[in-house]
Structure 1
Amino acid sequence: MRQFFSALAKALACLLLLASAVAEATTVKVFYDVGWGNRIALRGSKAPLNWNTGVNATWSTGNVWTYTWADSVGDVELKPLINDATWSVGANYVVKAGTTVSIYPFFQSRAGTLVKVANFSSPQLGNTRTLRIYLPPSYSLNPLKRYPVLYMHDGQNLFEASTAFGGVEWQVDETANALINNGQMDEVIVVGIDNGGANRIYEYTPCCDPQYSGGGANVYERFMLDTVKPYIDQNYRTLTGNKNTALMGSSLGGLVSTYIGRRNPGVFSKLGGLSSSFWWNNQMLPKEVEAATAKVAVNHYIDAGTSSDGLTETTRMRDALVVDGYVQGKDLYYYVAQGAGHNEAAWAARLSIPLKYLFPWQSTVY
């Protein structure tokens, strides 16, 4: 009997050691179909990895390649390679000790693609428009991957000079391609929603400015939430949660982004407003933030130029957000564009700033 309990104690001790080892395992999972006969290897900054020779990851069903090491190694920078020869595109991945990190790489430096959905109907607004959808570089290369989504207003102005106001586009696709391939931002799907033409002021504004009237933002909100977002989530490989969903625009588009986003933090967690029209209706939106009794759980990017671009009102909004508890560089990024005016060229010139802030490299929540 004594021998039995001794053996049982040893067995339990082994199980505890095994459980401890599992609990103290740092793991990376690489999701990529390399094709028959190929493999994923990893190179990295600390042993058991190094930057000279790759270590093979272990394949499992679903084309998941896994590699594990002890927590005691500490934080590790690494990159996956195909057959220890072809490096993944972008920056190094950081794997913090004690975590399990999922990576969805791609291995060819390339541009994203633009898809257009013409005559997209809005039952809420009683009209149609075009959706212009930027699919990031890996979309066709890694079908295992799902993506955050950035919804942007004034879609005509974002991608093509031929449809942009004054013939000047934002160059959203070119800027995103460069930032993604350089490892400065995560891959995202960008959905450009064309404005309603003559109805633009109505659609992009809460009620009601003494001079311009407006007041259709709540209806436009329902169009976005009940029609546009469900369509995108059903037809593209999106990450649907609020942590991976952002809203951005300029001028009245910045106003409506802030208005809708703060009303729907369960849908959007990231808001971008370039040269936002915070003057609207005697600065109603900054006043609402000043009167708020609770902080809204969204990250704000707001900016303005110094040349007739609403800097005073934007600064007032910044100050109101700071009083509510937002912190510059954390959940708030306030930027002053020296010499910049209120136009597409100015917004294109600084677009990289909000993109890197809203979707920094390795920030996607899978």
Structure 2
Amino acid sequence: MFSTPSRSASGPLAALVLFLMSTLAHATTVRVHYDVGYGNRITLRGSKAPLSWNTGTPATWTAGNVWTLSWSNTVGDVELKPLVNDSAWSTGANYRIPAGATVDLYPFFGAASGRMQYVSNVYSPQLGNSRTLAVYLPPSYGENPLKRYPVLYAHDGQNLFNASSAFGGVEWRMDETANALIGNGTLDEVIIVGVYNAAANRLYEYTPCCDAQYGGGGADTYERFLIDTVRPYVDQNFRTLTGPRNTALIGSSLGGLVSFYIGRRNPAVFGKLAALSSSFWWNNQALTQQVEAAPTKVAVKVYLDAGTNADGLPETTRMRDALAADGHVQGQDLYYYVAQGAGHNEASWAARLHLPLTYLFPWQGTVY
């Protein structure tokens, strides 16, 4: 049994212990979470020694199917990719590993093709009606059961994935877009929950109180449906990452309005939101006036956009200005985009969907 050397200790053993302690304290470490099956292994190839792009460096298996490799932080930042048996490369972009960091990776090695799962007749005790949830499960969901995922809750779910249920027969192609972005390494894998609207009650459910012409006012109740019914169901039935940094909202038109409204009211639940072509005109721009009068900034990342073709651009620009005055910074916790020539329709939203998706969930942006 060895004793820990004192500060005054000297000799080869003390020097070795101090060297090892120093090395461990200043190491860069990668932990690859993946079950390769019996007899297989994970290697890493990368941009700097001790890694190279020509030959893989074996990682060490540890309990829980975690493959670990460490090196000195003096190497600097490294780009790398995991491989199975040093032959099958992980799907997506290279991983960037900052010097001195410990980084957990959850790769997959198959095609970048997620799958859909539909949950019918989800009852809302808050609203007294039922609807469908369309759940996009990302490519690695079945391949890497060690992985959990951030979640994007999307309104008007029937318009997102399937032309047969979409308004006017035009879908957002959200699953195809997510697959492509994950495959090229610009989007982190994310579970997308498309919450169908209750068609007869859409205007009521998606609006704060109350517009002089249209009424509305059910957004607070719809908020409770999302937070108290939908989200617990998703967290219980799918491998999710919880917490605001891994939970977002997205919608367009009135769906953009309600995304903005609910997200800012619940920053401890939703840490980011995307509001496309939002109906900020609602109730004489009351929501914008609230932001303008707010005494403190709400800590939520916000994506805002509008097209130039009768798409509410002046109202969206005013909201952008209100957020900027509140302390939001373009390119950091605010992304404002003007879609030249775009109108207020599903095709326009589908065409620029890659922007909010990659802003909300950029490659290697997930917090595990």
Same fold by TM-score greater than 0.5: yes
Query: Deviation of residue 7 (structure 1)?
Result: 9.0
Q: CA deviation at 1:304?
A: 0.2
Pick the aligned partner of 2:353 from 337, 351, 354. 351
Q: Secondary structure at the match of 1:228?
A: helix
TM-score for the superposition, normalised by structure 1? 0.97
SS in 1 for 2:19: helix
Q: What is the match of residue 110 of structure 2?
A: 108
User: By how many angstroms is 1:13 displaced?
Assistant: 4.7
**Partner of residue 19, structure 2:** 17
Residue in 1 aligned with 2:312? 310
For 1:209 and 1:165, the matched residues in 2 are separated by 24
**Any unmatched runs of 5+ in structure 2?**
none
| Aligned partner letter, 1:296 | V
Q: Counterparts in 2 of 1:227-246, with a 5 A limit?
A: 227-246=229-248
Deviation track 1:38-64 (CA, whole Å, cap 9, x = no partner) reads: 000000000000100000000011100
Q: State the identity as a percent.
A: 70
Relative to structure 1, the CA distance from residue 315 to residue 14 in structure 2 (aligned partners, 3 Å threshold; closer, same or farther) is: same
Unaligned runs of 5+ in 1: none
Counterparts of residues 194-233 of structure 1 (less than 5 Å): 194-233=196-235
Q: Secondary structure at the match of 1:318?
A: helix
Letter in 2 for 1:22: L
The secondary structure found in structure 1 opposite 2:127 is coil
Residue 175 (structure 2) pairs with residue 173 (structure 1): yes
Letter in 1 for 2:83: L
What is the TM-score normalised by the length of structure 2?
A: 0.97
The structure-2 alpha-carbon separation of the partners of 1:13 and 1:339, relative to structure 1 and needing over 3 Å to count, comes to: same
Residue equivalent to 2:343: 341
Which amino acid in 2 is paired with 1:320? A
Task: Output one character per residue of 1:131-160: Cα deviation in whole Å (capped at 9) or x when no partner.
Answer: 000000000000000000000000110000
Shift of 1:176: 0.2
Q: What is aligned with 2:163?
A: 161
Q: Give aligned pairs, total.
A: 363
Shift of 1:185: 0.4
Give, in angstroms, the shift of residue 303 of structure 1. 0.2
1:61 aligns to what? Answer: 63
Within-5 A mapping of 1:263-302: 263-302=265-304
User: Bigger CA drift: 11-20 or 340-349?
Assistant: 11-20
Distance 1:6 1:143 in 2: 46
Residues 5 and 15 (structure 1), Cα distance of their counterparts in 2 relative to 1, 3 Å cut: closer
Supply the distance in 2 between the matched residues of 1:94 and 1:30 (Cα, whole angstroms).
13
1:176-235 CA deviation, whole Å, 9 max, x = no partner? 000001101000000000001110000000000001100000000000000000000000
Letter matched to residue 236 of structure 1: F
- Helix, strand or coil for the counterpart of 2:64? coil
Task: Answer with 10-19 or 30-39: which moved more.
Answer: 10-19
Q: CA deviation at 1:348?
A: 0.3
SS at match of 2:328: coil
Q: Is 2:121 the counterpart of 1:119? A: yes
How many angstroms apart in 1 are the aligned matches of 2:208 and 2:17? 62
Corresponding position of 2:93: 91
Give the superposition deviation at 1:20. Answer: 1.5
1:242-299 per-residue CA deviation (whole Å, 9 max, x = no partner) reads: 1100000000000000000001111111100010000000001111111111111110
Mean Cα deviation higher: 44-53 or 16-25: 16-25
CA contact (8 A) 2:112 2:182 kept: no
C-alpha contact (below 8 Å) 2:160/2:174 kept by paired residues: yes
Considering only aligned residues, what root-mean-square deviation do their CA atoms show, in Å? 1.3
- The one-letter amino acid paired with 1:221 is E
Equivalent residue of 2:356, what SS?
Answer: helix
Please name the residue that 2:363 is paired with: 361
- Distance in 2, Cα, partners of 1:5 & 1:43: 40
The change in CA–CA distance for 1:26 and 1:220 in structure 2 (over 3 A counts) is same
